[in-house]
């Protein structure tokens, strides 16, 4: 029995869909939690007969429920789950051929940059990097045939906001595929497909899984033709997500609403505290009214998320701060229930060359916070003690 | 650190291993020893396991106790606790309590020589009158299952101390997020961690937390000897659930309050039991001893037939046993949680065949209300 969305179900709210994801699948036992189909293969009743499943790389019920849930909450026709966020992006990159050009956000996750520069550039796929928060600059980059536009908004780690609707129209005019890495926002806060994107990509490791205990990636496609190509690649290249990890992400999705809303509220408190602190020269958070993308963010999303970055007046203090935090954890990743602090210049953006980093503003004094579920007073007290 | 922060970081040990943000799942049943006469911290998984220990320590910290112990189910936690007593001992217990606890007390333990007198523990005088020379403990739930009866916990704890009794409370419905009985004077807090603590209807587990180390050691001896321990993977899942306990239960409670008030005004509903309603007996006591009324309510339809028609019409909450998950669950105590209690016993406690219990999940209040409305409209119309 599949989790197909009936007319009636389509009218329920996002929180309801999230709370009950996977809990109506098993009609045989009525199991309220989706079973983990830890199987590589499936028996056939006879030649030419199939239950719909034959080999877990191609399709697995637990993975299917995760994929269908994501498609339903993101407003897409198909979801696809991968072994990691990078595996999901890699699958997208396989849509292109030597000679193709892609326009990409210049300040984006270093791992994506590395994939394009070190893996796909040698294969003849050219990525050009622009400030995608500047719509005119993106338009200018469409000088010759561009196959795709790959955008993060808000960006990692500077939280710059792109005008997604305008970029969507631009991509459509030029016949380019519009891809949005929506990891920071999740469908709870921002739905790229509704804003004109063809594909939304997620590191499910972050907010979707939500508990820092599973690595996974997801694609959600808006239209069947793109979905079919991606599904073919998922099966052919095989970087699928295993059933236990799919189940853990499903479990995380159930509380996405309550988690992210609380984390977002905490983030605003922390950002406001940092904005007036003498040791801090600048705070990047779309929720602060003086953030350049603040207005634009509110037009295209229902919230500003839980990521905050800030620049130290004295960059040399970064090491002491990272060693001194007691509540924040100095660790890579983001989006989990525990608050984390990182130094992008040496961690997530280490793969970007120093000159580019400096030009982008990913300086040695830039710290990035992923705000979790702790009491905001404890988080602020921790920052106060180390700043 | 605030409880909310401790919920998020419980079980973490930054000194261990590789700095994992979540505790590793230690599956090994046995541990190599360097020396035959001096063992390391772990020797056999029944006696101690690092992942289970992480949960046990987290729970002890959240309840403010000296020691936590995790068991294979809530009933295993209750049964192991009852093994602290001896044949010939006597227990005073609350009248309306979980059917499984009632069954254990009146069958397994009665057979073995532990007698129980059930009283209305919201009446402290009745509790005191039930105490005899052989009484060793008082056992309560507050709010109780399924009528949400409120007991004055500080009052019972004081009474227990005055008579040298062990005070035991099942805090499953409230969790330490809303109610911390050890701070009110209780000796032992029990949980079915299957419910709100695990929170996702995907793990069966029990936890006991003891206020003092000596009682902790005695219950540990039972846990080790009888071995109804919680396995490491399940311990890890409960820890994972704890991370979001505050945000889950806060949201579920808000919806429950809205639904309880709405149901109380419906003509199809004869009565609503919920500590958050101003007319609920013990409302003020509950408001003093807990931080909120919780996310479980029960209500009576006009007749058993109306209740059954209602349950057959409901579409959004699942008709199931259990409670405390992210999905709303509607239960029928007569055939589910209190089936183990004979009908006459149920009737004498006011647990009628028209009573249904709703555990409110994370679905939107609007969707739940809309579904309850259509199901109420269908009751009796068959």
All residues of chain B having their beta carbon less than 8 Å from the beta carbon of residue A336 are 21
Interatomic CA distance for residues A79 and A85, integer angstroms: 13
Looking at residue A4, its pLDDT comes to 41
Same domain as A268, residue A246: no
Q: How far apart are CA B181 and CA B63, in angstroms?
A: 8
Chain A residues with CB-CB distance to B201 below 8 A: 23, 32-33
Is A189 part of any domain?
Answer: yes
If 0-12 CB within 10 Å is exposed, 13-18 middle and 19+ buried, where does residue B35 land?
A: exposed
Report how far residue B190's alpha carbon sits from residue B209's, in angstroms, rounded to the nearest whole number: 7
Q: At which of A234, A253, A272 does a domain end?
A: A253
DSSP state of B330: E
- Quick check: B344 contacting A, CB < 8 Å? no
Tokens of A125: 């796929």
**Inter-chain CB proximity B244 and A374 less than 8 Å:** no
**Predicted pLDDT at B9:** 87
Q: Which of B162, B183, B161 is nearest to B171 (CA)?
A: B183
Alpha carbons B246 and B265: distance in angstroms, whole number = 29
Residue A19 has pLDDT above 90, yes or no: yes
Residue B73 corresponds to which tokens in the numbers above? 């189910």
Both A262 and A249 in a single domain?
Answer: no
* Lowest model confidence (mean pLDDT) among A75-84, B33-42, B330-339: B33-42
Among A104-118, A191-205, B36-50, the range with the most confident prediction by mean pLDDT is A191-205
Q: How confident is the model at residue A105 (pLDDT cuts 50, 70, 90)?
A: very high
Residues A57 and A22 in one domain: yes
> Which of A45-49, A79-83, B88-92, B307-311 shows the lowest per-residue confidence on average (mean pLDDT)?
A45-49
Q: Report pLDDT digits (tens) over A68-102.
A: 999 999 999 999 999 999 999 999 999 999 999 99
Q: Order of strands, edge to edge, in the sheet holding B135-141?
A: B67-71, B206-210, B188-192, B166-170, B135-141, B90-94, B115-119
In a domain, A1, yes or no: no
Q: What's the complex ipTM? A: 0.77
B325/A327 Cβ within 8 A: no
Three-state DSSP class for B280? coil
Q: Is the pLDDT of residue A134 over 60?
A: yes
- Integer angstrom CA distances of residue A202 from A22, A87, A134, B46: 20, 10, 23, 40
Please give the Cα distance from A68 to A65 (Å, whole number). Answer: 5
Residue B56 pLDDT > 80: yes
A242 and A328 within one domain: no
Confidence band for A1, pLDDT divided at 50, 70 and 90: very low
- Among all residues of chain B, which has the CA nearest to that of A372? B8
CA B241 to chain centre: 15
* Chosen domain end from A253, A274, A290: A253
Q: Rounded to whole angstroms, how far apart are CA atoms A204 and B193?
A: 27
A175 and A134 assigned to the same domain: yes
Judged against a pLDDT cut of 70, whether residue B290 lies above it is answered with: yes
Asked if residue A369 is part of any domain, the answer here is yes
Yes or no: say if B77 and B25 are a contact pair by the CB < 8 Å rule.
no
Q: Among A192, A225, A253, where does a domain finish?
A: A253
Which one of B239, B326, B360, B371 makes the best mutation probe of the A interface by having the most chain A beta carbons within 10 Å?
Answer: B326
Instruction: For chain A, say whether B55 makes contact (Cβ under 8 Å).
Output: no
DSSP classification of residue A323: H
Across the interface, of B5, B19, B247, the residue whose CB is closest to A327 is B5
Q: Which of B6, B31, B42, B46 is catalytic?
A: B46
Given CB atoms, is B4 within the 8 Å cutoff of chain A?
Answer: yes
Total structural domains in chain A?
2
Judged against a pLDDT cut of 60, whether residue A238 lies above it is answered with: yes
CATH number of the structural domain spanning residue A161? 3.40.640.10
Of A19, A261, A374, the CB nearest to B361: A19
Are B251 and A258 an interchain contact pair (Cβ–Cβ within 8 Å)? yes
Taking a C-beta distance cutoff of 8 angstroms, is the pair A230, A112 a contact? no
Angle at B67 (CA atoms; ends B108, B109), nearest 5 degrees: 10
Neighbours of B157 (CB within 10 A): 23
How far is B296 from B302, CA to CA, in rounded Å?
A: 20
Query: A183 and A278 in one domain?
Result: no
Q: Is A8 exposed, middle or buried (0-12, 13-18, 19+ CB in 10 A)?
A: exposed
Does residue A36 sit at the B interface (CB-CB below 8 Å)?
Answer: no
Best interface-test mutation with B: which of A255, A338, A342, A372 has the largest number of B CBs within 10 A?
A255
Q: Do B243 and A373 touch (CB under 8 A)?
A: yes
Write the residue in B1, B247, B327 that is nearest to A373 by C-beta.
B247
Cα–Cα distance between A9 and A24 in angstroms, integer?
12
- Of residues A300, A122, A254, the one with CA closest to residue B328: A254
Comparing CB atoms, the residue among A33, A258, A327 nearest residue B247 is A258
In a domain, residue A245? The reply is yes
The β-bridge relationship of strands B296-301 and B355-359 is: antiparallel
Residue A11: predicted pLDDT: 65
Chain B from 263 to 322: CB within 8 A of any A CB: 316, 318, 320
Over residues B352-365, the mean pLDDT reads 97
Report the pLDDT value the prediction gives residue A3, as an integer from 0 to 100.
Answer: 39
* One domain, residues A80 and A177: yes
8 A C-beta contact, residue B62 and residue B6: yes
- Identify whether residues A239 and A382 lie together within a single domain: no
How high is the pLDDT of residue B270? Answer: 97
**For residues B96 and B341, what is the distance between their CA atoms, to the nearest angstrom?**
10
The reply to whether A172 touches chain B by the CB within 8 Å rule is: no
Cα–Cα distance, B100 to B108 (Å, whole number): 11
Report residue A350's pLDDT band, with 50, 70 and 90 as the boundaries.
Answer: confident
| The pLDDT of residue A341 | 95
Distance separating alpha carbons of residues A237 and A200, to the nearest angstrom? 20
Contact assignment for A20 to B363 by CB distance below 8 Å: yes
Note whether A77 contacts B: Cβ–Cβ < 8 A.
Answer: no
The answer to whether residue A2 sits within a structural domain is no
Q: Which residues contact B259 (CB under 8 A, 6 or more apart)?
A: B297, B358, B360, B365, B368, B369, B372
State the Cα–Cα distance between residues A227 and A211, nearest whole angstrom.
Answer: 29
Q: What is the CATH number of the domain that holds A263?
A: 3.90.1150.10
Looking at the DSSP assignment, which residues form a beta bridge with residue A151? A180
Q: Which domains does chain B have, with CATH numbers?
A: 3-242 (3.40.640.10), 246-378 (3.90.1150.10)
| pLDDT at residue number B78 | 96
B96 is catalytic: no
Tell me: the pLDDT tens digits for B119-164?
999 999 999 999 999 999 999 999 999 999 999 999 999 999 999 9
CB-based contact B157:B188 (threshold 8 Å): no
Containing structural domain, residue A376? 257-386
Together in a domain, A126 and A261: no
Asked if A235 and A286 sit in the same domain, the reply is no
Section B349-365 average pLDDT: 96
Pull the structure tokens for residue A367.
């710290």
User: CA of A344: how far to CAs of A85, A130, A340, A354, B137, in Å?
Assistant: 18, 19, 12, 12, 58
Let me know whether A225 and A319 are in one domain. Answer: no
How large is the average pLDDT for residues A52-65?
94
Interface test with A, best of B363, B365, B369, B371 (most A CBs within 10 A): B363
Assigned token pair, B332? 């029928």
Residue A6 has pLDDT above 60, yes or no: no
With an 8 Å Cβ cutoff, are B200 and A251 in contact?
yes
pTM: 0.87
A positions 251-270 inside 8 Å of B (CB): 251, 254-255, 257-259, 261-262
Contact yes or no for B126/B119 (Cβ under 8 A): yes
- Tell me how far CA of residue A147 lies from CA of A121, A175, A230, B302, in angstroms: 14, 7, 16, 66
Least Cα separation, residue B371 to chain A (angstroms): 11
Based on the domain organization, do A44 and A160 belong to the same domain? yes
């Amino acid at each position: 029995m599949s989790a197909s969305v009936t007319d009636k179900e389509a009218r329920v709210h996002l929180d309801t869909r999230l709370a009950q994801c996977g809990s109506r699948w098993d009609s045989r036992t009525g199991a309220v939690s989706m079973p983990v189909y830890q199987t590589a293969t499936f028996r056939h009743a006879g030649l030419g007969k199939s239950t719909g499943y034959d080999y877990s790389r191609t399709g697995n019920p637990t993975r299917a429920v995760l994929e269908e849930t994501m498609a339903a909450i993101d407003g897409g026709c198909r979801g696809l789950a991968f072994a990691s966020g990078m595996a999901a992006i890699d699958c997208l990159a396989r849509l292109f051929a030597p000679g193709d050009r892609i326009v990409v956000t210049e300040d984006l996750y270093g791992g994506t940059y590395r994939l394009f520069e070190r893996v796909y550039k040698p294969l003849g796929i050219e990525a050009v990097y622009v400030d995608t928060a500047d719509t005119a600059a993106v338009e200018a980059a469409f000088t010759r045939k561009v196959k795709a536009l790959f955008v993060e908004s808000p960006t990692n780690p500077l939280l710059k906001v792109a005008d997604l609707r305008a970029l969507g129209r631009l991509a459509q005019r030029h016949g380019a595929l519009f891809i949005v890495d929506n990891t920071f926002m999740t469908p709870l806060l921002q739905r790229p497909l509704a804003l004109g994107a063809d594909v939304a990509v997620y590191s499910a490791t972050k907010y979707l899984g939500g508990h820092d205990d599973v690595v996974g990636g997801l694609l959600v496609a808006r239209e069947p033709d793109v979905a079919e190509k991606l599904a073919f690649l998922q099966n052919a290249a095989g970087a699928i997500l295993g059933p236990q990890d799919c189940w853990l992400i499903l479990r995380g999705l159930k509380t996405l609403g309550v988690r992210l809303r609380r984390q977002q509220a905490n983030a605003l408190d922390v950002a406001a505290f940092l904005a007036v602190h003498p040791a801090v020269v600048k705070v990047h958070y779309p929720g602060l009214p003086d953030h350049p993308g603040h207005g634009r963010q509110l037009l295209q999303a229902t919230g500003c998320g839980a990521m905050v970055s800030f620049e130290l007046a004295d960059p040399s203090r970064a090491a002491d701060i990272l060693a001194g935090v007691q509540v924040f954890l100095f660790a890579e990743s983001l989006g989990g229930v525990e608050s984390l602090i990182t130094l992008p210049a040496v961690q997530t953006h280490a793969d970007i060359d120093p000159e580019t980093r400096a030009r982008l503003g990913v300086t040695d004094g830039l710290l990035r916070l992923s705000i979790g579920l702790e009491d905001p007073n404890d988080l602020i007290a921790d920052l106060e003690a180390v700043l | 650190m605030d409880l909310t922060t401790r919920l998020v970081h419980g079980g973490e040990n930054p000194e261990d291993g590789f700095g994992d943000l979540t505790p590793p799942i230690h599956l090994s049943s046995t541990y190599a020893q360097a020396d035959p006469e001096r063992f390391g911290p772990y020797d056999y998984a029944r006696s101690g396991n690092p992942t289970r220990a992480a949960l046990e320590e987290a729970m002890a910290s959240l309840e403010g106790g000296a020691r936590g112990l995790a068991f294979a189910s809530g009933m295993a936690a209750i049964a192991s606790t009852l093994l602290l007593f001896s044949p010939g001992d006597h227990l005073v217990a609350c009248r309306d309590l979980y059917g499984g606890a009632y069954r254990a007390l009146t069958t397994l333990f009665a057979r073995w020589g532990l007698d129980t007198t059930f009283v209305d523990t919201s009446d402290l005088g009745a509790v005191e009158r039930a105490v005899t020379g052989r009484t060793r403990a008082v056992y309560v739930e507050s709010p109780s299952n399924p009528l949400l009866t409120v007991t004055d916990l500080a009052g019972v704890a004081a009474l227990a101390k005055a008579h040298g009794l062990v005070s035991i409370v099942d805090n499953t419905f409230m969790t330490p997020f809303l109610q911390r009985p050890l701070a009110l004077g209780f000796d032992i807090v029990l949980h079915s961690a299957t419910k709100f603590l695990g929170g996702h209807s995907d793990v069966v587990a029990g936890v006991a937390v003891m206020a003092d180390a000596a009682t902790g050691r005695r219950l540990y001896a039972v846990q080790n000897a009888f071995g109804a321990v919680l396995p490491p993977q399940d311990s890890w899942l409960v820890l994972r659930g704890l991370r979001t306990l505050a945000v889950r239960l806060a949201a579920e409670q808000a919806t429950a309050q809205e639904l309880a008030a709405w149901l109380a005004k419906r003509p199809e509903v004869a009565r609503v039991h919920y500590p958050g309603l101003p007319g609920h007996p013990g409302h003020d006591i509950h408001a003093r001893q807990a931080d909120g009324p919780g996310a479980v309510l029960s209500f009576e339809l006009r007749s058993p037939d109306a209740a059954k028609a209602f349950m057959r019409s409901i579409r959004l909450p699942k008709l199931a046993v259990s409670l405390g998950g992210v999905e709303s669950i509607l239960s029928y105590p007569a055939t589910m949680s209190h089936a183990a209690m004979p009908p006459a016993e149920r009737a004498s406690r006011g647990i009628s065949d028209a009573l249904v219990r709703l555990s409110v999940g994370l679905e939107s209040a609007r969707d739940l209300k809309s579904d309850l409305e259509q199901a109420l409209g269908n009751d009796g119309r068959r």
